[in-house]
Structure 1
Amino acid sequence: MLADCRRGFGVVPKQRLIASRFTNREKGVISMPLADRARPKTIDDVVGQKHLIGPGRPLRNIILSGELPNMIFYGPSGTGKTTVARMIAENAGKRLHKLNGTNASLADIKQVVGELDTIMGQNGIVLYLDEIQYLNKKQQQSLLEYIESGRITLIASTTENPYFYIYNAILSRATVFEFKSVPPQEAEAAVERGFRLVAEEQKLELTLEEGVTAHIARGCGGDVRKALNTVELCVLAAELRDGKKTVSLELAKELTQKSAMRYDRAGDEHYDLLSALQKSIRGSDENAALHYLARLLTAGDLLSPCRRLLVIAAEDIGLAYPQAIAIVKACVDAAVQLGLPEAQIPLAEAVVLLATAPKSNTANAAIQAAMADVQAGRGGTFPRCLQNKHYDGEGNEQIGQHYLYPHDFPDRYVEQQYLPDDLAGTVYYTPAQNKNEQAAKKYWDTIKSKKRG
């Protein structure tokens, strides 16, 4: 394709090109996004999703069978969910009715149901509900009767986890297929197709510098729609000379510099990034941790990584390096005062420090075990020695507190019961094998064994 682009699609005078573009706009060609104009016509033209529509794969077999089960397509934007839904409806010879959950109402759903008894719905209707997570429970429930009878086949799509956002009765009647981000090497085919189509529509001789298609494919973050939008921008932004346009690599880089960002502060991607950051630090991979920090900061999210880094310092590094939380707090404070972009420097310092520090989750494990006992109702009383010393009311069989003050004893230690009676002897904390915790363990083992001796 790259060589074909360099050869171009014929030279036309500038005046003829402009006239041609106005004609196309009047026909609605130019105004329609390139992602829609370049939509694949066959299964084999769909880029990505080989795990679903590759030869012998389940969704491909369903499409070819002509039989339609209810399905939910889950995955990022621009990965082919709508395209595949259209192909499924066309192959089954059924009318496709599309609604978007962001603006659909009960009236819209009733209008679709009303078509069932008309000539348009005599073969059944495929209802494609895009962004179904935005429909409320009542709206989703209104479809159940028709889905159950088979008069409406539901294909729903969502960018959010369907098990969190879709009504259980709908889920139980549908099969979930997960669409994944399109790898750059596969997205490149869609980018090439987009350049070819724009050149044909505008009757341009279009030349691409080496690396343009590959850069756009890499920069789209697995979103083919973004890639095709960038293709159209590149052609529009390129200078026209005698009916010829050249898309330079520099122009492609300028227009795709932030296309790789896929981020929603209230969505799964937000929590996935924070989870990836923490797990990379926990796994002592500073390079991966820096990558996920960079993605968060590039999206302009400063406070979320700050908060998560403080959690990591306590949860994952903990007592193996107790000073870490103080250092990270200083880095976080500096980052908040500096703001972006300079905030990236102290935060990078905190990430590298935490990733390369020794790890211990013993404090976290200990408090979780203690919380479990409290929530189970254990240990509701106090040893008498820990109660307020004035607690010697009438009827108290054990007059006097009998508290032993450790500072009055050698090594500032004396044995006495601190846990409630029903938890006496319970061990929540077990030191990890790192020098800080082992040093503390050795110190107290020596003192306590001396007292017992």
Structure 2
Amino acid sequence: MEPDLFTAAAEERQATDPSASPLAVRMRPRVVDEVVGQEHLLRPGSPLRRLVGEAGGGPAGPSSVMLWGPPGTGKTTLAYVVSQATDKRFVELSAITAGVKEVRAVIEGAKRSAGAYGKDTVLFLDEIHRFSKAQQDSLLPAVENRWVTLIAATTENPYFSVISPLLSRSLLLTLEPLTDDDLRGLLQRAVSEERGLGGAVELPEDAVAYLLRIAGGDARRALTALEAGAGAALTKGEAEVTVQSLEEAVDRAAITYDRDGDQHYDVASALIKSIRGSDVDAALHYLARMIEAGEDPRFIARRLMISASEDIGLADPSALQTAVAAAQAVAMIGFPEARITLGHATVALALAPKSNAACVAIDAALADVRAGVAGPVPAHLRDSHYKGSTKLGHGKGYQYPHDLPGGIAAQQYAPDGVHGKRYYEPTRYGAEARYADVAERVRARLRGEAPPAAPPSAPREGPRGEQREE
């Protein structure tokens, strides 16, 4: 898509007056060696180095590149650097506002540029995960015929959000969040370099620490906050960007969290894994991130209910009750009060004893069923309430447990194919230790054997934990 008159005028103004551009744009690297962080992509002989041509030649390898990483890690920057290093036209589109029509216009323009001027084109497509399958399909001819060098950026996992034919034709580069040292060096350069703030202000260490804290590994956010703080300081005639100036300009840190994207699932996963690992403080941190980002409290409550069964189970049977009660309360009260209920449930689950025995048991049973390890229901367990069932032998020999001492009948319940298999292997954590003793005694009774003696401290219990007369 060729630039319109307004876009051309804006670009001309930025070219003649660099200060008209945002600080994050002015500090954008012009060559590969100026790229901040991403050392794994910049080492000698790396795919990125080969793409831009270490010896000054054209790019090698595929004509499509996927840049996957969180916001502010330099995806747009790398695309621009590739175009500069290879002396190609740079055209940028966003999948949020562009469609197939705009993509086709860029491709036609690339063909004209190559034919008339011998100049190839880099098409940078930001947020490609927002393109539908049909829209992504429209890119394939241009990639296969090398009409453009496609550089697509995404914050989503491309294996889930990008079609396989396009992904298989692309060099996938994964970008990591910038470290504090990366951002510190970038901030210092932004303050001192002429294209940045040109030494107009000073940035003390406590202000640097504040910027690093609110940036969350995002260079764009750090530079935007610095620019706002510097503007506030200069307006007041101050030569130093203080933490107070930054706080006034920034108000508060934006949360790096996309309710509709990868980070939605990444943060939710981190919450559950922190609960599983019994780290109550980490669990509360991730819960706070989800709440602050405006996550649906019902989604959080559902994840807590799953965790109660998957990771705690019978080690603390009350955990599921707590999680269900929290979900019901959240549905009734909503935010902001629901934060208290979610915090209550999260703390309870994180500090509860853990057992995944129930989860492992049902998964093992499902695996056998799916593998065909089953068999017919034993005849004595089959339904005997319909006419003709007696002639088929259904129900014959069935022993009614309530008529027997202890309420347990020594008879076969499982089909022949799985008879004797043990799916549930309880742990000795928390309340599940009691269930482990019960399971052993019940299994012995089912086999017709004398049950092992109950531990001195434990009452004799039935299969659901109730006390029984032996």
Task: Answer yes or no: is 1:130 the counterpart of 2:126.
Answer: yes
Q: How far does residue 430 in structure 1 lie from its aligned partner after superposition?
A: 1.5
Deviates more, 1:395-404 or 1:367-376: 395-404
Aligned positions of 1:217-232 closer than 5 A: 217-232=212-227
Q: Deviations over 1:261-320 (max 9, x none)?
A: 111111110100111111122122223222212211222323332221111111001111
Q: How far does residue 178 in structure 1 lie from its aligned partner after superposition?
A: 0.4
Task: Answer yes or no: is 1:53 the counterpart of 2:42.
Answer: yes
Task: Answer yes or no: is 1:315 the counterpart of 2:310.
Answer: yes
- The answer to whether the Cα contact below 8 Å between 2:380 and 2:393 also exists between their aligned partners in 1 is no
Q: How far does residue 144 in structure 1 lie from its aligned partner after superposition?
A: 2.5
- The answer to whether the Cα contact below 8 Å between 1:34 and 1:232 also exists between their aligned partners in 2 is yes
Aligned match of 1:430: 425
- The answer to whether the Cα contact below 8 Å between 2:180 and 2:217 also exists between their aligned partners in 1 is yes
In structure 2, how many angstroms separate the alpha carbons of the residues matched to 1:78 and 1:120?
Answer: 36
The correspondence for 1:365, drawn from 356, 360, 363, is: 360
Deviates more, 1:30-39 or 1:151-160: 30-39
Letter in 2 for 1:384: A
In structure 2, how many angstroms separate the alpha carbons of the residues matched to 1:385 and 1:255?
Answer: 77
Change over 3 Å in CA distance of 1:333–1:146 after alignment to 2? closer
Aligned match of 1:44: 33
Task: Answer yes or no: is 1:154 the counterpart of 2:143.
Answer: no
Aligned match of 2:95: 101
Q: How far does residue 135 in structure 1 lie from its aligned partner after superposition?
A: 2.3
Letter in 2 for 1:110: R
Change over 3 Å in CA distance of 1:27–1:151 after alignment to 2? closer
In structure 1, how many angstroms separate the alpha carbons of the residues matched to 2:88 and 2:273?
Answer: 46
The correspondence for 2:255, drawn from 246, 254, 261, is: 261
Change over 3 Å in CA distance of 1:155–1:328 after alignment to 2? same
Deviates more, 1:129-138 or 1:326-335: 326-335
Aligned positions of 1:9-408 closer than 5 A: 32-54=21-43, 57-65=46-54, 66-68=57-59, 69=62, 70-115=64-109, 116-118=111-113, 122-196=118-192, 205-238=200-233, 240-241=235-236, 244=238, 246-256=240-250, 258-259=252-253, 261-301=255-295, 302-334=297-329, 339-376=334-371, 379=374, 381-393=376-388, 396-398=391-393, 400-408=395-403
Q: How many residues align?
A: 428
Deviates more, 1:192-201 or 1:436-445: 192-201
- The answer to whether the Cα contact below 8 Å between 2:37 and 2:179 also exists between their aligned partners in 1 is yes
> Could you say what secondary structure the match of 2:125 adopts?
strand
Aligned match of 1:9: none
In structure 2, how many angstroms separate the alpha carbons of the residues matched to 1:253 and 1:371?
Answer: 55
Deviates more, 1:148-157 or 1:88-97: 148-157
Task: Answer yes or no: is 1:452 the counterpart of 2:441.
Answer: no
> Could you say what secondary structure the match of 2:201 adopts?
strand
Letter in 2 for 1:158: T
Q: How far does residue 121 in structure 1 lie from its aligned partner after superposition?
A: 5.5
Q: Which one scores higher on RCO, CA 8 angstroms, separation ≥ 6?
A: 1
Structure 1 vs Structure 2 CA RMSD: 3.0
Q: How far does residue 170 in structure 1 lie from its aligned partner after superposition?
A: 1.3
What TM-score, normalized to structure 1?
Answer: 0.84
In structure 2, how many angstroms separate the alpha carbons of the residues matched to 1:436 and 1:337?
Answer: 31
Q: Deviations over 1:384-407 (max 9, x none)?
A: 333333234178331654432212
In structure 2, how many angstroms separate the alpha carbons of the residues matched to 1:218 and 1:229?
Answer: 14
- The answer to whether the Cα contact below 8 Å between 2:122 and 2:149 also exists between their aligned partners in 1 is yes
In structure 2, how many angstroms separate the alpha carbons of the residues matched to 1:81 and 1:200?
Answer: 20
Q: Deviations over 1:345-391 (max 9, x none)?
A: 44333333322322111111111222234444554743333333323
Deviates more, 1:289-298 or 1:28-37: 28-37
In structure 2, how many angstroms separate the alpha carbons of the residues matched to 1:25 and 1:122?
Answer: 27
- The answer to whether the Cα contact below 8 Å between 2:142 and 2:148 also exists between their aligned partners in 1 is yes
In structure 1, how many angstroms separate the alpha carbons of the residues matched to 2:394 and 2:31?
Answer: 88
In structure 1, how many angstroms separate the alpha carbons of the residues matched to 2:168 and 2:367?
Answer: 33
- The answer to whether the Cα contact below 8 Å between 1:101 and 1:130 also exists between their aligned partners in 2 is yes
Change over 3 Å in CA distance of 1:400–1:168 after alignment to 2? closer
Change over 3 Å in CA distance of 1:213–1:37 after alignment to 2? same
What TM-score, normalized to structure 2?
Answer: 0.81
Change over 3 Å in CA distance of 1:420–1:440 after alignment to 2? same
